[in-house]
Structure formats: structure tokens, C-alpha cells
Structure 1
Amino acid sequence: MNYQFIDVKLEGRLTIITLQRPESHNALNFGAHEELQHAFDNFASDSEQWVAIITGSGAKAFCAGHDLKQQASDANLGTPANGFGGLTSRFDMNKPVIAAVNGVAMGGGFELALACDIIIASHNAVFALPEAKVGLAALAGGMQRLPSLIGLKRSMGMLLTGRQVNASEGLQLGFVNEVVEGDVMEAARRWASDILACSPLSVRATKAAVMRSLDVSVSQALTEQWGYPQVQEMLNSQDAIEGPKAFSEKRLPMWVGH
């Protein structure tokens, strides 16, 4: 697929996806949604790609959400099968995805970041779910993910007013992992490098077990985790042998991902 609205680069085991509509604050039109769906499909299915970073082009915006100008002229502007940006409803994505938020993350853009596992924000990043101000609602996971991260009252304070939260407050509230003064992509790559130093099967098993445990009791999650395909794949892998062996031999492990 020839991308027009995004850019995709592979750096070793790392996939970097960049939104390329800076003139529209990287708001997503129909074409951008379709391209992101394709890019995340490729990332999910490529056994050689272990971690992804998504960011926006330019210095002002990560993603301003839906392209409201297009939506105003086309009421049927929808999202792909896997949700806003091809990610917010992709519940089988067990590989880690990092959001490098380089500016404004509004509406669906904030929901896209919330669907990622880690959020790294530049000092000028701003987050909001302002859908109620334009007669809509945060239907791409914002109304579900934000309360689970920061609690009911804090999330309702954002959802019912559309108020904006800066990066430092996002860190305090708990949905931002790190705020950086310099290059947000440099920090995101550092986080990706730390993840890539771990066994990819262990990372995927961990993400699968954590995400599935959110809706059940601890006792149920502890019992069910042994049946998760990702956990079984990890336990039966060469990496499960390589990790302890490398530790005992006082060397870095050589992960193969199977």
C-alpha cells in the first residue's frame, strides 16, 4: 500500500508510524484511517516486528481527532473495523505500542494515545476529550479507558466539560508515563529499546494477562492465565530456555521470539 497520510518506517524490530497531516493538526480523514488500519495489520502480523511507536508530524499536534471538516460534509465518516486509527478496538494486539505525543491530542487523538500501552509526552502536549462541545461523545474508548486509568471523578471532570489537561497534569493523573523537554521520539525510542531488551514472548504474555485481568477478579485471572495462548507460547519457547541460560552464563540473552 502506498501511504499518503501516514509514514511507516522499520528500524530493526521497531515500527514507527507517523501521522502526516500537519496542516490539519494530524486529524484523521477516511484515507488516514484506512492507512493506519493497514499499517497496524502489518505490524501485528509481522513476526519480525516487536514494538511500535505512533507519533505525529510537525511540532504542534499528535492528532486532533476526526477531521471535522470532512465529517461536516460527510456524516458517514466512520472508522475502520479495529476502531479509530485502526487501533482503539484492536483488542487482540498483544505487541506493545508506544504513543509519542508531540503536541495536541484531542478527541480521537487522545483516545488513540489511550489505546497505546505507554504514553510519552512532550512538555507542550495537551490532552482533552471535547466531544460534548461539538454534539458528540468519546466513542472510541475514551469513556471506558480514561476512568480505568485515573478514576471516575477525575475522568468525569474531563469528559463532561471537555477541559484540557497539560502534560505535567497528565503525568500526575497517571495516564502519561514520562514528560520530556527535548525530543519526544528520542524518549520513545529509549522506552522501546528497554522493551526490546526483554523477551518478546514474555512481553506479549504479560500484556495479554494484564489486559484480560482488568475485567475479572484476581483469583479468576490467576487461574485463567495458564490457558492464554500467549502464556503457553512463552512457556514452551526457546526464549524461556535462553533467558535463564544467559543469566547463569552472565551474558545478554539472544532472543529469537519463538
Structure 2
Amino acid sequence: MLVNTEIKDRIAYVEMQNADHFNCLSEQMCTELIAALDEAYASECVGVVLKAQVKKGVWSAGHDIRELPLDGSDPLGFDVPMEKLMRAVQDVPIPVIACVSGTVWGGACDLCLSCDMIISAHTATFAITPAKIGIPYNASGILHFINQLGMNKAREMFFLGTPITADDALNVGLINHVAEASDLDHMLETKFLAPLRRNSVVSISAIKRQFRILSRASTVISAENFEHINAYRTRVFEGEDYQEGIKAFLEKRPPEYKGKAADLDRPQP
């Protein structure tokens, strides 16, 4: 088991426990996290706290690169486990709070943004890194960042792939509160969980559902634009740079990218 769930006083504490592999969002990890969310809702919890065992300062390293496809299929298609997990976090009808005590990379950053609230230690950092590996991120993930951070900060995070500090994340609205690592659990309980337990879970559940519906309604794009996005993404994950990025990561060496931006404009053979 990669995930441990403990229910106490109407709160489900869900902890990723694969620190030796930096809590990568593998298929098994995603499946177990989804099951934990289902258990929390079935147990009539009023909220979920997502935590992680930390090793070498890493809360989660994001997508398990070893599971990315190399056969030309979409690495972030609708039905891949990590995408199912994002939707499960967004759709479970009770609040999910990410409690971050280390560095957050790639898809794990998107996972945090999929949660309803985020608190973190001062030492936490956040980075979204598809460009480092040559992955064409999907539109739903990019929209998470645009809606939460605004266009310019989202561009900075995606284009540069460098971590931002907890204080910076707080300033741009990526997270809700920052505390010293030693005070994180106390802040979680006093500022978040105690008020949550006192409030009407029926009201909160209805409000969360409305947030989800309204966020989807505000991001409707035309079928033509959707096809345009997918055409760009397909050229990336079918290209050589995508293959090189994954191989370089697995071989623990810097990637040697040779693709050109103009490659996206050339007609398909």
C-alpha cells in the first residue's frame, strides 16, 4: 500500500507513503488516492487532508516518469491515472486540503491546485516542469494555473520550470497559508479543520459543487480551438524531443533537445 488513510473526528487524513520513490504519482499511487477519497466521502467525513511522508525534502515528485508512454500515445490523455486523480479531487463533494511540507514538482503541483485549499511550510517550493522533460501539458492542467495564478505567473512557471518559494506562492494566490514546519499541523487544525467541523457539510458540499460547475462554465472553448490545442500537443508527444526528455531523465543526464518551435507550424506528413 502506498497510501494510508486515517479517519479522526470526521476528517480523513490521507498520506502518501512512498517516500523512497518521492511519492511519484504512479498508476498505483493514483488508484489508491482515488480509493481514499471515495472512502472519505462514504464515511461521511467533512473534509480530506492530503499529506505525504517526506524524504530528502520532497513532498511529491509528480508524474512517475517511468510510466510515461514512448509509443506515440498521449502522456496526459483523459483516461490516464493522474488525470483521473485530478478530477476525483475536484469532484469529491467535500473539501480537500493539501498540507505541503516539502518540495512539489510537476504533476504534484497540479494535484495541489486541484485541491480546494493548500497550506504549506515556509520551506516548501512549487514547480511545474513539463518543459524540462519535453512533455506537452494538457489544456485542463494549464487552465488550473491560469485560473489560480493569472496568465503571467502561469506562463512564468510553465516556461521556466523553476521552483517558486512558499512566500511567492502565497503572494500570487497559489496557496492559502504558510507556517513554520513545526507549526504546520497546529495551523491546519485551528485555522482550517476546527471551523470546517463546525459548519454545515451540506452547505459546503453544495458550494463546492457550484465552484466546480462555475469554473467549468468559465473555460468553455470552441471545438475548433480544442482541436487546435490537441494538434500542437500531438506533434510534441510524437516528436523526438519528448522521447529524448524521458530517456535523459531515466539515464540521469541533461537532455539534448534538437526540436525547433517552427516544427509545430509545419504540415503533418
Please give the TM-score of this superposition, normalised by the length of structure 2: 0.71
Report the AA paired with residue 205 of structure 1: A
Q: Distance in 1 between matches of 2:77 and 2:37?
A: 14
* Number of residues of Structure 1 aligned to a counterpart in Structure 2: 213
How big is each residue's C-alpha offset from its partner over 1:150-202, in whole Å with a ceiling of 9 and x where there is no partner?
Answer: 11111111112212111000000011100011242332233122111101011
How big is each residue's C-alpha offset from its partner over 1:82-124, in whole Å with a ceiling of 9 and x where there is no partner?
Answer: 9528531134322100000111111111111001000001111
Tell me, yes or no, if structure 1 residue 56 matches structure 2 residue 52.
yes
Q: Distance in 2 between matches of 1:74 and 1:57?
A: 33
Q: Provide the residue aligned with 1:164 in structure 2.
A: 163
Q: Distance in 2 between matches of 1:20 and 1:141?
A: 27
Q: Which has the higher contact order (CA 8 A, sep 6+)?
A: 2
SS state of the match for residue 87, structure 2?
coil
How big is each residue's C-alpha offset from its partner over 1:36-65, in whole Å with a ceiling of 9 and x where there is no partner?
Answer: 12111222333x211000011026222110
Maintained 8 Å contact 1:101/1:119 = yes
Maintained 8 Å contact 1:128/1:158 = yes
Report the AA paired with residue 89 of structure 1: R
Maintained 8 Å contact 1:114/1:142 = no
Q: Provide the residue aligned with 1:131 in structure 2.
A: 130
SS state of the match for residue 59, structure 2?
strand
- Show structure 2 runs of 5+ residues with no match: 219-269
Report the AA paired with residue 35 of structure 1: E
Q: Distance in 2 between matches of 1:106 and 1:64?
A: 5
Maintained 8 Å contact 1:124/1:166 = yes
Q: Provide the residue aligned with 2:185 in structure 1.
A: 185
How far residue 79 of structure 1 moved from its aligned partner, in angstroms, is 8.7
Q: Provide the residue aligned with 1:233 in structure 2.
A: none
SS state of the match for residue 143, structure 1?
helix
Which stretch of structure 1 is more off in the superposition, 199-208 or 77-86? 77-86
Maintained 8 Å contact 1:127/1:164 = yes
How far residue 214 of structure 1 moved from its aligned partner, in angstroms, is 3.0
Alignment root-mean-square deviation, CA:
2.6
How big is each residue's C-alpha offset from its partner over 1:4-23, in whole Å with a ceiling of 9 and x where there is no partner?
Answer: 11111000200000001111
Quickly say closer, same or farther: Cα 1:137–1:193, change in 2 above 3 A.
farther
Q: Provide the residue aligned with 1:256 in structure 2.
A: none
Q: Distance in 2 between matches of 1:78 and 1:160?
A: 18
How big is each residue's C-alpha offset from its partner over 1:194-245, in whole Å with a ceiling of 9 and x where there is no partner?
Answer: 111101011112222233223548xxxxxxxxxxxxxxxxxxxxxxxxxxxx
Report the AA paired with residue 193 of structure 2: A
Q: Distance in 2 between matches of 1:147 and 1:86?
A: 20
Q: Which of the residues 49, 62, 67 maps onto 1:65?
A: 62
SS state of the match for residue 28, structure 1?
coil
Q: Distance in 1 between matches of 2:139 and 2:39?
A: 22
The share of aligned pairs that are identical, in percent, is: 25
Q: Provide the residue aligned with 1:236 in structure 2.
A: none
Which stretch of structure 1 is more off in the superposition, 77-86 or 172-181? 77-86
Q: Distance in 1 between matches of 2:210 and 2:141?
A: 22
How far residue 138 of structure 1 moved from its aligned partner, in angstroms, is 3.5
Quickly say closer, same or farther: Cα 1:50–1:75, change in 2 above 3 A.
farther
How far residue 142 of structure 1 moved from its aligned partner, in angstroms, is 3.0
Q: Distance in 2 between matches of 1:85 and 1:123?
A: 28
Maintained 8 Å contact 1:87/1:115 = no
Q: Which of the residues 27, 30, 35 maps onto 2:24?
A: 27
Which stretch of structure 1 is more off in the superposition, 94-103 or 82-91? 82-91
Quickly say closer, same or farther: Cα 1:132–1:24, change in 2 above 3 A.
same
Quickly say closer, same or farther: Cα 1:160–1:95, change in 2 above 3 A.
same
Maintained 8 Å contact 2:30/2:85 = no
Please show how residues 64-213 of structure 1 align to structure 2 within 5 Å.
64-71=61-68, 84=82, 86-90=84-88, 91-139=90-138, 141-181=140-180, 182-190=182-190, 191-213=192-214
Q: Which of the residues 31, 38, 44 maps onto 2:35?
A: 38
Report the AA paired with residue 44 of structure 1: Y
SS state of the match for residue 15, structure 1?
strand
Report the AA paired with residue 212 of structure 1: I
Quickly say closer, same or farther: Cα 1:85–1:41, change in 2 above 3 A.
farther
